[in-house]
Structure 1
Amino acid sequence: MGEFDAIRPYADSEVPTVLARLLADDEFLDILTQYRFPRLAGALGWLLKPLIAYRLRLEFSQVASVAALQEKVEGYVDQSIERATDGVTYTGVEQLKSGSAYLFLANHRDIVMDPAFVNYAVYHAGLPTPRIAIGDNLLQKPFVSDLMRLNKSFIVHRSLSGRREKLAAYQLLSAYINHSIRNDCESIWIAQAEGRAKDGNDRTDSAILKMFHMSRKNEPFAEVIAALKLTPVSISYEYDPCDQAKARELFIRASSGCYSKSPGEDDQSIALGITGYKGRVHVHFSAPVSSCLEDSKQLAAEMDRQILSGYRLFPVHYLAYAMWPERDPALDVPSAAQLFPAEELARAEAEWNKRLARCPVEQQPYLVLQYANPVRNQYRVKAGLPL
């Protein structure tokens, strides 16, 4: 057994076996049937499932590598993105050089779509897609684990409780990330903090930056970070499909002091994040960090500055900020009407009002918060003020 076998993505040699296992998985075929034929799945699922499995076996029979699989799946991904967005744009990708591997550190709003949009940008720029860090809390079902590891995902063990076990897991993770970039020349995508920023307040956890250095502690921190080509990535959604669920969770947490997920809640978030309307999406790649910052907290502050600066603000963000009671009087934030054409603003106002109307009154402040925080953060960065 190899050093990283417990967490690494599947290798090319494993693809045919894993695909065969997936296409024999009843639960996986159920989900595909419901997604493809939502009205017929209940009554005719018994007939549709074997037909779908047969068609997929034919379609993927010649797939024998991860790259070939991603090539096949790319068309489906593009269709899904086209159905659920008003277009994806990206900037800064021209700074990425073919033949180099990067450590992409991104803000985190959606479980699956954040890395999917980074993959989309990188793939369409003609570059290899990165390996993706995913928490083991999202891999409760075997078919989900198979799907993700086929798509270049590697496992981050978050469900460990013992201090010694956690330390060993982070050591292994650090070694794998360094090995992937330095030895395999394969880029990595990882979120800037554990869990989504449900309040729209993107912040880098310095513990993650420390983790990158754990397996190379005998080398200076700044040199390790430079060798990994740590690259800040900003992912901006015009509308978050999960904003209502996030507002509800924030309200319950604020009013009761805690929040317990119901069974299957992560699965529902994943499905809604993939299929729900997002408006426009923008991905910005900053240049790899070149500052020789010896301290993980200083580096976290620099990552925040880069990620928040690269975040694209849409009209809805300014509309939310204008009605936010906690907006910052020290900031000179223009109104949406000053920045956007009347027609674009009218569409945004109509969509925003629909979202507010769907949200219970007591939860609305937490909906506003999600869209207002990015405005506050970006203008504080622009003004050189602390976050």
Structure 2
Amino acid sequence: MDQFHDIRPYNDDEVAEVLQNLVTTPDFINTIIGFRFAKWPKWMHGPLALVVKLALKRQVANISNVHEFQMRVADYMARMIKTTTTNVEYRGIEKLEKGVGYLFLSNHRDIAMDPAFVNYGLYLAGLDTVRIAIGDNLLRRPFVSDLMRLNKSFIVKRSANGIREMMAAFGQLSAYITESLTKDQSNIWIAQKEGRAKDGLDQTDPAIIKMFFMSQKKEKKSFAEAMANLKVVPVSISYEYDPCAFDKANELHQKSSTGSYEKAEFEDMDSIKNGIVGQKGKVVVTFGDVIKDGFETPEEFVEEVDRQIISNYAIQSTNEAALAMQLGQASTDTAFSRYLEECPQDLRDTVLAMYANPLKQQQKYLAK
């Protein structure tokens, strides 16, 4: 029996059927129309649906496995990089070895683009792409789940209810990650904590580390031995501009002023879309060093992950400009000043903090 059937990515022999179902799913077709033809009149949506469906059928006709699907994704990724970034730089990727399964534990800024940029760097370097951890809160629409699982995503059951159900979900997830890394020699990408760091402060949740340990703890392995087996590599992702910055600031502002924030039903889908099509400027992805044994507790391990992620974070001109403006100094980055002019006045301080915090956090670490 496949103990991971409800959370794992799709296997090669499942790809063709899933794709055929996708291209006949009205919700999927309508989403593409809304994404690509948003400015077209609504009366055109009927004819467009037929055209889109036929075009998709042609595109997926020759895709029979996960690799072929990801090669199609790579084409879209190259196009997105050309139109929404000024430069993408990879640091430390030369330290990674082929045929080794790494657990990339990453800071989290963008729902889709963080693992996408990591994946693209590995692809360019001739290394295996990652299996991507994605929360079930993002999979409310079935076609989204299908697309993610076609692209080697596996599901984190955040909506589990009750202690027993949560522990069972964590145990299954821990076993899947351990088996992927040690048996399959597959790479894994997972964020250092649940949700994006909307305030720009990168901190690892110890619960993530404890979850990693669960499956090996049952085998009576020590924490240090278990974590060394997983070959954890901290990853720092830095965007010159965050396409979702104003939306994140609005959420933070509402929480601070009213004490709560209610997400719209498909707000996460909008964030994914904006993250993909929005201007990002320069993007830097830095791979840290494999964390080896010697860390005896989850708290010690967290400290090392945070040290690498924060120290390796590539400081952008926008981070420096934001901190200077917080200190009452004039910004020499005219592009960032123009960018802030588009920001609603009541959100400006929050946006400044969002961009300044990575630099302030790094300065604090390096001063230790």
Q: Do the two structures share a fold, i.e. TM-score over 0.5?
A: yes
Contact conserved, 2:133 with 2:154, CA < 8 A, in 1? yes
- Counterpart in 1 of 2:265? 263
Q: Greater shift after overlay, 78-87 or 111-120?
A: 78-87
Deviation at 1:60, TM superposition (A): 1.8
Contact conserved, 1:244 with 1:367, CA < 8 A, in 2? yes
1:152-190: per-residue Cα shift (whole Å, max 9, x none)? 000000012211111110010000000101111111000
Deviation at 1:114, TM superposition (A): 0.5
Matched, 1:71 2:55: no
What do you get for the CA RMSD once the two structures are aligned?
1.6
Distance 2:344 2:41 in 1: 32
SS in 1 for 2:323: helix
Deviation at 1:41, TM superposition (A): 5.9
Q: Greater shift after overlay, 234-243 or 32-41?
A: 32-41
Matched, 1:382 2:359: no
Distance 1:258 1:35 in 2: 30
Deviation at 1:360, TM superposition (A): 2.6
Aligned partner letter, 2:359: V
Distance 2:27 2:334 in 1: 39
Deviation at 1:83, TM superposition (A): 1.1
- Of all paired residues, the percent bearing the same amino acid is 46
In the alignment, structure 1 segments of 5+ residues that lack a partner are: 328-334, 338-344
1:48-105: per-residue Cα shift (whole Å, max 9, x none)? 2222221221222121110111112211121012211112110111111111110000
In the alignment, structure 2 segments of 5+ residues that lack a partner are: none
- Counterpart in 2 of 1:95? 95
Deviation at 1:257, TM superposition (A): 1.4
Deviation at 1:142, TM superposition (A): 0.3
TM-score, normalisation: structure 2: 0.96
Distance 1:300 1:336 in 2: 37
- Counterpart in 2 of 1:194? 194
- Counterpart in 1 of 2:55? 55
Matched, 1:165 2:165: yes
- Counterpart in 1 of 2:152? 152
Matched, 1:34 2:18: no
Contact conserved, 1:103 with 1:187, CA < 8 A, in 2? yes
Contact conserved, 1:135 with 1:157, CA < 8 A, in 2? yes
Aligned partner letter, 2:339: R
Contact conserved, 2:238 with 2:313, CA < 8 A, in 1? yes
- Counterpart in 2 of 1:314? 316
Contact conserved, 1:130 with 1:188, CA < 8 A, in 2? yes
Contact conserved, 2:175 with 2:215, CA < 8 A, in 1? yes
Alignment counterpart, residue 251 of structure 1, candidates 250, 253, 258: 253
Contact conserved, 1:192 with 1:205, CA < 8 A, in 2? yes
Distance 1:196 1:137 in 2: 13
Contact conserved, 1:318 with 1:336, CA < 8 A, in 2? no
SS in 1 for 2:236: strand
Contact conserved, 1:119 with 1:130, CA < 8 A, in 2? yes
Contact conserved, 1:41 with 1:48, CA < 8 A, in 2? no
TM-score, normalisation: structure 1: 0.91
- How many aligned positions are there? 366
Deviation at 1:106, TM superposition (A): 0.2
Deviation at 1:336, TM superposition (A): 10
Distance 1:251 1:5 in 2: 40
- Counterpart in 1 of 2:343? 359
- Counterpart in 2 of 1:340? none
